[in-house]
Structures are given as structure tokens and as C-alpha cells.
Amino acid sequence: MEDKKDMEEIFNELDAIISSTDISKVTAEGSGFEELPEGYYLSEVEQAELTVSKNSGDPMVKFVYKVVEDGIYVDEDGNNISLDGTKNRKIFKYYVMKDGDSFKRFVTDMLKFENDEKPLLEKEMLMSSQLINDCLDVLIGMRIYIKCTVSENKDGTEGRWYSPTSWEIMNKLEIKQ
């Protein structure tokens, strides 16, 4: 009998979600969520792990960020425009280590994590897989701005690139921490 009550509660919760959700613009081609617009997003590292790429089998570092404040778009005049409704969204960033260049990009981004405007991680801390794995644990809970850049692909679709951004750059843009 208790199982039935639990299912009834589940049905009620789901019906409440369904009745408050507009699905008129949902299509089979969509991903189920709107893409983040171009801008800067103060984000917190929720997950950082050393793993393997399912596509290539190469070593990969996976980051999951949670946007902790609505994003900011900086227009051509330098005005900060709030990107309302973007707080609590997730950003996924993957670093597939297939060669020296991809590893250099990873190191560059890791040096953007700062504490008192100094890199939190030193290059020497990223010189072995075990050290990288240990460093990733340190980054959990850290906050960093992620820049979303939107570009047009050859097929006319939009591509999005997510790049950690140093506090130094954010201060130059006069975006408050």
C-alpha cells in the first residue's frame, strides 16, 4: 500500500511540473535546454576528473561548472548587460589529451585559476598524471569566470566554446567579482 502512495506522490509532482512547463517550442532536433548566450559566467567547479574520452580513448579531463550568478554580456561600448535566467545552468568542458598542443591548452587554462590574483596551480604541479589528478580535487568548489563564445559553423549551425577566464581579464573588463 505504501508503494502506491509513493507513486501517487510522484505522479502529483510530475503533473505539477508538466502543467507549469511550456513545450510549444520543443522539437526532436533540440537538446532539451537553451544554449547559453555569448557572455561571461561566474561559475563554480562542481566536478573535475581525469578520465578517458569515449570517442578516442585518449586521456581526458572533464569539468562540470555550475553558473552561480546570471551571466554578463559586454557590448561593443563596454556596457555590462545581465543575461537573466542563466544562473544555476551547467557548463561542461572537456580537455582531450591527444598531443602536446592539447596538453598546453589544458595547462594554460589551469593557470587561470587564481588565488589573490596569483595562479593557484603552478606548472610543476601539472607535470604528471597523478599530480594532475590531485590538483583537480583542489579545484572543486573554486570559482572562475567562463567565457562563452558563439561562432557559426560551416553548415550554418552555431558552435559554442567555453574558456576559463582569469580574474585579471575580468577586472580589466570591470566586471565585479
Cell digits of residue 176: 565585479
d(CA 31, CA 29): 7
Q: How confident is the model at residue 177 (pLDDT cuts 50, 70, 90)?
A: very low
> Which residues on adjacent β-strands are paired with residue 39?
148
Instruction: Please enumerate in sequence order all residues whose Cβ is within 8 A of that of 49, keeping only pairs 6 or more positions apart, or say none.
Output: 61, 62, 136
Q: For 85, what's the count of Cα atoms within 13 Å in the CB-facing half-sphere?
A: 5
149-155: long-range contacts, CB 8 A cutoff, minimum separation 24: 149/38, 150/37, 150/38
Q: Tens digit of pLDDT for each residue in 131-167? A: 999 999 999 999 999 999 999 889 888 889 999 998 8
d(CA 95, CA 101): 11
Residue pair 61/50 in contact (Cβ under 8 Å)? The answer is yes
Q: Tens digit of pLDDT for each residue in 15-64? A: 888 888 777 766 665 555 678 999 999 999 999 999 999 999 899 999 99
Q: Tens digit of pLDDT for each residue in 77-105? A: 888 999 999 999 999 999 999 999 999 99
pLDDT at 15: 82
